[in-house]
Chains A and B, each alone.
Chain A
Amino acid sequence: MRFAAPMADPGALLARRNPVAKLAASGVLTLALLATLDPVAPALALALELAVVPLFGVAYGTLLRRAFPILLSAVGVVVALGVFAAQRTGEALFAIGPLVITTGLLNNALGLALRVVAVALPGVLVFASTDPTDLADALVQHLKAPARFAIGALAAFRLAPLLGAEWELLRMARRARGVDPGRNPVAHLRLFWSTAFALLVGAIRRGTRLAAAMDARGFDSGVPRTIARPQRFGAADWALVTAAAGAAALALGTSLALGTFRPLLG
């Protein structure tokens, strides 16, 4: 159950904040960055995000490993625009074969790539520094999420890591039964579906057993649930949300002041 344990130091200043506060802060920043197409706002936001990474108890090295797919997609955005972009405005900087790289193109590509990273990073930080149990508790207590949904999802989440091992076993069991797709791609596809179906059947059966065990302990009793782990939403949590709103305003304000702001709509 590797991803169930947070990779962050749980005692860090911002890691200790209420999960709902962390989600709200990340949401505010993300929405603000989605509003503009220029590179300045995401660059500034990204710089601020990177500056607070240690406050979440996350080491930069760990973050790099965890966020690697995001960096990869950002590079992909730059390359794709470089190759396929129709609008090549601004001055020509250099040419790679038939591809002329212009300042306008570079501006767009950079803006998009920075947006991808700046929007994704807060989410990575929130989930890296939040215990799933605390998240479910906070969703129930502060956002009035139904316990049936939040705690049920949490329990299902605990079983999810079993699926990988289960898939391997199913594959081996099929081989033991003499089911072998060989080189036929259609047979490969059929084997894949039959294995996936068996995985699903197994998951549903396990889920059913888990649900029965939960109901046997009164999960469906209809009595209002009490709360064993009260979550606090205090001044520090409000401060986090306010700071995120401030960072978003700063990023957008700078972009407006420099005249680079390009609204997504309009």
Chain B
Amino acid sequence: MAEVELRGFGWRHAGRRAWALRGVDLRIEAGERVLLLGPSGAGKSTLLAALAGLLAEDSGEQEGTARVAGQPSRTARELTGIVFQDPQTQLVMARSGDDVAFGLENRGVPAAEIWPRVDAALAAVGFPYGRDRRVEALSGGEQQRLALAGVLALRPRLLLLDEPTANLDPAGAALVRAALATISGVTTVLVEHRVAEALPLVDRVVVLEPGGGVQADGVPEKVFALHGEELAARGVWVPGRPLPARLAACPPGTELLRGDRLSFRHAGAARPALSEVDITVRGCEALAVVGPNGAGKSTLALLLGGLLGPTTGTVRASPALAGADAARPPHRWRAAALTSRIGSVFQNPEHQFVTTQVRDELALGGVPPSIVGLLLDRLGLAGLAAANPYTLSGGEQRRLSVATALAGAAIPGPRPLDSPRLLVLDEPTFGQDRRTWIALVELLADLRDLGHGIVTVTHDADFVAALADRAVPLPEPPTPPHAPHPPHPDPPAPPPFPTAPPHPHSPAPPRDRTEPR
């Protein structure tokens, strides 16, 4: 009897015309470790939810069967455990040990057995603290390890992992992968975008085709050797395939925005979120702000985006960017003026949606329909023009939020359309498949070559290599004495980029860049 058996399985969410998943035939034997791949929208998360028995019968329409250990997956819930992307919304209790105990209490495990099993699960994932450690004092990677411990404590026969490292910085992701590597004897199905990092954890790769069942299946070497080319073209992150690099086509132009000794401290916070950062952004230049979680990268993006005023230090826009408004800092500008000069893309795209249709979202503020159409095409959203932004997949939402920031430049006003603009993007490549990732790099590179300035906050080293002309590394935040961090398994390499901002009157810095890998 196979551990997992799908026969002609399909699922259509209630209220949707298209099937999220259709015609999937798949057998997984006990103890196998499977990496589930597929382009954006192939239904990978839906398949995991189906195996976990989390698709309620009244929430959609099903075809075929999904069985776990011979039972329909909905009745085999005790045999499966699932770890999701976001640690914030899967931890339940305030103390780490209590959180692991939560599932054991639910399953009615006798009280005497609970704490030994909690301790064993915490040890299995290499949790470095005691049971009383407060959950909010953990880093993202540690929280995700805790979530894994909470699932392992239940001794599942089938472990499902839905992009468990997607929300983490490289160090946090490495922590989670190290924990996963030590687990043995459990049938595992992993969904993960970063294939190269995930391959050491698996012995079989299954590729889903959107709406078309299983496209390829086998040991990783064979699958990638036979189908690598085609899979890469369809958006799967095939390891070892080179990514296009886009060097700037023009030398750095006029200065657009400058931040001097920027610091920001939240009201009542013990330490500043950002301290003493100097940064200069020029036209025809793409900067990458890099650094570990908690270094203040997102805060810097908000300061440069004119959305937050610095606690100390100044943000100054040049007349080339702001005309007469250059006398005032961006966070004092009217919103409409800000949008026409600086476009911001937030880390969570949903924060930025203000209408109920993708098309309206782009047309907001009077953007001409021709530009709306162009952006929809360019970012692969043309088929979704009438959809509600909240119903898009994570990757689609991210592209829509990038498109809205670009659309701001086309709002009719006193500013000529070709005047330089600044774009500030916070993790724009999260959740993109290979194809949309490349489209995003190409689009941003085109904008840069038209003379715009681009600032991206990112953990994505490939993205930095492909696009950035200069990196601005932010240092690790000082750790408070009560929250020791374990040493990071892969310390970041020293930055190969010039990092000091140029003197305002000196010539532009040499344009070093890393070699694309």
Which residue of A is nearest B408, CB measured?
A178
Q: Which of A145-195 contact B (CB under 8 A)?
A: 151, 154-155, 158-159, 162, 166, 169-170, 172-180, 182, 194
Establish whether residues A218 and B154, one from each chain, have CB atoms under 8 Å apart when the complex forms. Answer: yes
A175 to B364, alpha carbons, bound, how many Å? 13
Establish whether residues B92 and A214, one from each chain, have CB atoms under 8 Å apart when the complex forms. Answer: yes
Residue among B81, B151, B339, B365 having the largest count of chain A Cβ atoms under 10 Å: B339
A218 to B107, alpha carbons, bound, how many Å? 6
Q: Which residues of A contact B77 (CB under 8 A)?
A: 216, 218, 221
Establish whether residues A228 and B101, one from each chain, have CB atoms under 8 Å apart when the complex forms. Answer: yes
Which residue of A is nearest B366, CB measured?
A178
Interface residues of A (CB under 8 A from B): 1, 4-5, 131-133, 151, 154-155, 158-159, 162, 166, 169-170, 172-180, 182, 194, 198, 201-202, 205-206, 209-210, 212-219, 221, 223-230
Q: Which residues of A contact B105 (CB under 8 A)?
A: 225-228
Q: Which residues of A contact B91 (CB under 8 A)?
A: 158
Q: Which residues of B contact A198 (CB under 8 A)?
A: 350-351, 353-354
**What are 16 A-B contacts defined by CB distance under 8 Å?**
A1-B94, A173-B351, A175-B338, A176-B352, A182-B334, A194-B354, A198-B351, A205-B350, A214-B92, A215-B54, A218-B103, A226-B108, A228-B101, A228-B111, A228-B114, A230-B111
A202 to B350, alpha carbons, bound, how many Å? 8
Residue among B336, B339, B351, B364 having the largest count of chain A Cβ atoms under 10 Å: B351
Establish whether residues A209 and B408, one from each chain, have CB atoms under 8 Å apart when the complex forms. Answer: no
Least CB distance, B270 to chain A, in whole angstroms: 11
Query: Which among B54, B82, B98, B136 is the interface contact of A1 at CB below 8 angstroms?
Result: B136
Q: Which residues of B contact A175 (CB under 8 A)?
A: 307, 335, 338
Establish whether residues A226 and B308, one from each chain, have CB atoms under 8 Å apart when the complex forms. Answer: no
Least CB distance, A172 to chain B, in whole angstroms: 4
| Number of A-B residue pairs with CB-CB distance less than 8 Å in the complex they form | 162
Least CB distance, B411 to chain A, in whole angstroms: 7
Given contacts A158-B92, A228-B115, contact A176 B154 (CB under 8 A): no
A180 to B77, alpha carbons, bound, how many Å? 49
Q: Which residues of B contact A151 (CB under 8 A)?
A: 92, 102
Establish whether residues A154 and B82, one from each chain, have CB atoms under 8 Å apart when the complex forms. Answer: no
Q: Which residues of B contact A226 (CB under 8 A)?
A: 104-105, 108-111, 114
A159 to B94, alpha carbons, bound, how many Å? 10
A212 to B364, alpha carbons, bound, how many Å? 34
List the 9 closest pairs (A to B, CB-CB), nearest first: A180-B335, A178-B339, A217-B103, A213-B90, A218-B106, A223-B108, A172-B307, A228-B101, A176-B344
A215 to B59, alpha carbons, bound, how many Å? 16
Query: Which among A159, A178, A210, A224 is the interface contact of B338 at CB below 8 angstroms?
Result: A178
Establish whether residues B344 and A154, one from each chain, have CB atoms under 8 Å apart when the complex forms. Answer: no
Q: Which residues of A contact B82 (CB under 8 A)?
A: 213, 216
Residue among B92, B115, B365 having the largest count of chain A Cβ atoms under 10 Å: B92
Establish whether residues A178 and B154, one from each chain, have CB atoms under 8 Å apart when the complex forms. Answer: no
Which residue of B is nearest A211, CB measured?
B89
A221 to B106, alpha carbons, bound, how many Å? 7
Least CB distance, B189 to chain A, in whole angstroms: 14
Interface residues of B (CB under 8 A from A): 52, 54, 77-78, 80-82, 84, 86, 88-95, 98, 101-111, 114-115, 118, 134-136, 150-151, 154, 302, 305, 307-308, 334-336, 338-340, 343-344, 346, 348, 350-354, 364-365, 390, 404-405, 408, 411
Which residue of A is nearest B93, CB measured?
A133
Q: Which residues of A contact B114 (CB under 8 A)?
A: 226, 228
Least CB distance, A181 to chain B, in whole angstroms: 9
Establish whether residues B408 and A217, one from each chain, have CB atoms under 8 Å apart when the complex forms. Answer: no
Which residue of A is nearest B101, CB measured?
A228
Which residue of A is nearest B331, CB measured?
A175
Q: Which residues of B contact A210 (CB under 8 A)?
A: 89-90, 92
Given contacts A132-B94, A218-B78, contact A223 B350 (CB under 8 A): no
Q: Which residues of A contact B84 (CB under 8 A)?
A: 209, 212-213
Q: Which residues of A contact B352 (CB under 8 A)?
A: 173, 176-177
Q: Which residues of A contact B88 (CB under 8 A)?
A: 159, 162, 206
Given contacts A178-B364, A229-B98, contact A217 B336 (CB under 8 A): no
Establish whether residues B302 and A172, one from each chain, have CB atoms under 8 Å apart when the complex forms. Answer: yes
- Using A205-B350, A228-B115 as known contacts, list a sample of 17 further A-B pairs with CB atoms less than 8 Å apart, ordered by residue number in A: A162-B88, A173-B344, A173-B346, A176-B352, A178-B364, A178-B408, A178-B411, A179-B354, A209-B89, A210-B90, A213-B82, A216-B77, A217-B81, A218-B106, A223-B107, A226-B111, A228-B101
Least CB distance, B353 to chain A, in whole angstroms: 8
Residue among A132, A177, A219 having the largest count of chain B Cβ atoms under 10 Å: A177
A206 to B92, alpha carbons, bound, how many Å? 12
A213 to B95, alpha carbons, bound, how many Å? 17
